[in-house]
Chain A
Amino acid sequence: MRHLLSAADLDRTQITEIFDLAEEMSLVQGRPVKKLPALRGRTVVNLFFEDSTRTRSSFEIAGKWLSADVINISAKGSSVSKGESLRDTVLTVAAMGVDALVIRHHASGAPWQASRWIDAHVLNAGDGTHEHPTQALLDAFTIRRHLRRSAPDLVSFDGQTVAIVGDITHSRVARSNVLLLTTLGAQVILVAPPTLLPPAMDTWPVRVCTDFDEVLPHADVVMMLRVQRERMSGGYFPTPREYTIGYGLTRPRLEAMKPGAAICHPGPMNRGLEISADAADAANSLILDQVAAGVSVRMSVLYELLGGAE
Chain B
Amino acid sequence: MTDLLIRGADIIGHGRSDLLIRNGRFVDPADAGSDVDTLDADGLVALPGLVDLHTHLREPGREDAETVESGTLAAARGGFTAVLAMANTIPVTDTAEAAEHVAALGARDGHAQVVPVGAVSKGLDGVELAELGLMARSRAGVRVFSDDGRCVSDARLMRRALEYVRAFDGVIAQHAQDPQLAGGAACCHEGEISGKLGLPGWPAAAEAGVVARDVQIAELTRSRLHICHVSCAETVDVIMWAKQRDINVTAEVAPHHLMLTTSEVVGYDPTYKVNPPLRPNEHVEALREALADGTIDAVATDHAPHARHDKEHAFAEAAFGMLGLETALAVVMETMINSGLLNWTGLAKRMSIMPAHVARLADHGRPLAKGEPANVVLVDPAARAVVERDNSASLSRNNPWHGRDLPDPVVATIWAGRVTYQKGS
Among B67-75, B118-126, B190-198, the one that faces the other chain is B190-198
Closest 7 CB pairs of A and B: A109-B268, A130-B198, A198-B195, A107-B314, A200-B192, A129-B198, A87-B312
Would you call B199 and A109 a contact (CB within 8 A)?
yes
Interface hits, A97-138 → B, CB 8 Å? 105-110, 112-113, 116, 127-131
Q: Which residue of A lies closest to B270 (CB)?
A: A113
**Given the contacts A108-B197, A130-B198, A199 and B190 also touching, CB distance less than 8 Å:** yes
Would you call B196 and A175 a contact (CB within 8 A)?
yes
Give the number of chain A interface residues (Cβ < 8 Å). 31
- In the complex, which of the residues A78, A105, A172, A201 contacts B195, with contact meaning CB atoms closer than 8 Å? A201
Mark A44-83 against chain B: 1 for CB-CB distance below 8 A, else 0.
0000000000000000000000000000000000111000
Residues of chain A within 8 A (CB-CB) of B201 are 199
Mark A167-197 against chain B: 1 for CB-CB distance below 8 A, else 0.
0011010010000000000000000000000
Residues of chain B within 8 A (CB-CB) of A127 are 198
Would you call A108 and B195 a contact (CB within 8 A)?
no
Judge whether A203 is part of the interface by a CB distance below 8 angstroms.
Answer: yes
CB distance from B403 to the nearest CB of A (A): 15
Docked pose: A113 CA to B268 CA in angstroms: 7
Residues of chain A within 8 A (CB-CB) of B169 are none
- In the complex, which of the residues A86, A106, A175, A203 contacts B312, with contact meaning CB atoms closer than 8 Å? A86
Judge whether B309 is part of the interface by a CB distance below 8 angstroms.
Answer: yes
Would you call A199 and B313 a contact (CB within 8 A)?
no
Judge whether A13 is part of the interface by a CB distance below 8 angstroms.
Answer: no
Would you call B312 and A88 a contact (CB within 8 A)?
yes
Interface hits, B277-330 → A, CB 8 Å? 309, 312-317
Docked pose: A113 CA to B316 CA in angstroms: 12
Would you call B316 and A107 a contact (CB within 8 A)?
yes
CB distance from B190 to the nearest CB of A (A): 5
Q: Interface size class for chain B?
A: 20 to 34
Would you call B195 and A85 a contact (CB within 8 A)?
no
CB distance from B278 to the nearest CB of A (A): 15
Interface hits, B179-238 → A, CB 8 Å? 190-192, 194-201, 203
Would you call B195 and A86 a contact (CB within 8 A)?
no
Would you call A86 and B198 a contact (CB within 8 A)?
no
Instruction: List 15 extra interface pairs beyond A86-B317, A108-B197, CB under 8 A.
Output: A85-B312, A107-B314, A107-B316, A107-B317, A108-B315, A109-B268, A110-B315, A112-B268, A128-B199, A169-B195, A175-B198, A198-B194, A198-B195, A198-B196, A203-B196
Would you call A199 and B314 a contact (CB within 8 A)?
no
Residues on B facing A (Cβ under 8 Å): 190-192, 194-201, 203, 267-270, 309, 312-317
Residues of chain A within 8 A (CB-CB) of B317 are 78-80, 86, 107
Docked pose: A113 CA to B270 CA in angstroms: 9
**Given the contacts A79-B313, A108-B315, A200-B191, A131 and B267 also touching, CB distance less than 8 Å:** no
Would you call B268 and A131 a contact (CB within 8 A)?
no
Between A and B, how many residue pairs show CB distances below 8 Å?
Answer: 87
CB distance from B307 to the nearest CB of A (A): 10
CB distance from B244 to the nearest CB of A (A): 31
Residues of chain A within 8 A (CB-CB) of B200 are 129
Would you call B198 and A128 a contact (CB within 8 A)?
yes
Docked pose: A170 CA to B268 CA in angstroms: 17
Q: Which residue of A lies closest to B193 (CB)?
A: A200
Residue among A78, A129, A170, A199 having the largest count of chain B Cβ atoms under 10 Å: A199
Would you call A203 and B199 a contact (CB within 8 A)?
no
Docked pose: A201 CA to B192 CA in angstroms: 7
Docked pose: A129 CA to B188 CA in angstroms: 14
Would you call A199 and B268 a contact (CB within 8 A)?
no
Docked pose: A34 CA to B383 CA in angstroms: 68
Q: Which residue of A lies closest to B199 (CB)?
A: A108
CB distance from A198 to the nearest CB of B (A): 3
Interface hits, A200-214 → B, CB 8 Å? 200-201, 203-204
Q: Which residue of B lies closest to A175 (CB)?
A: B198
Residues of chain B within 8 A (CB-CB) of A128 are 198-199, 314, 316
Docked pose: A140 CA to B201 CA in angstroms: 29
Would you call A109 and B197 a contact (CB within 8 A)?
yes
Docked pose: A110 CA to B269 CA in angstroms: 10
Docked pose: A55 CA to B269 CA in angstroms: 27
Interface CB pairs A-B, < 8 A, 28: A78-B317, A80-B313, A80-B317, A85-B312, A85-B313, A86-B313, A86-B314, A87-B312, A88-B309, A107-B315, A107-B316, A108-B268, A109-B315, A110-B268, A110-B314, A113-B269, A128-B314, A129-B199, A130-B198, A130-B199, A131-B198, A175-B196, A199-B192, A199-B194, A199-B201, A200-B192, A203-B192, A203-B196
Residues of chain A within 8 A (CB-CB) of B313 are 78-80, 85-87, 107
Docked pose: A169 CA to B313 CA in angstroms: 23
Docked pose: A129 CA to B198 CA in angstroms: 5
Would you call B315 and A113 a contact (CB within 8 A)?
yes
Docked pose: A200 CA to B309 CA in angstroms: 33
CB distance from A169 to the nearest CB of B (A): 8
Residues of chain B within 8 A (CB-CB) of A108 are 197-199, 268, 314-316
- In the complex, which of the residues A85, A113, A116, A204 contacts B309, with contact meaning CB atoms closer than 8 Å? A85
Q: Which residue of B lies closest to A199 (CB)?
A: B195
Docked pose: A204 CA to B267 CA in angstroms: 19
Docked pose: A243 CA to B395 CA in angstroms: 52
Residues of chain A within 8 A (CB-CB) of B314 are 79, 86, 105-110, 113, 128
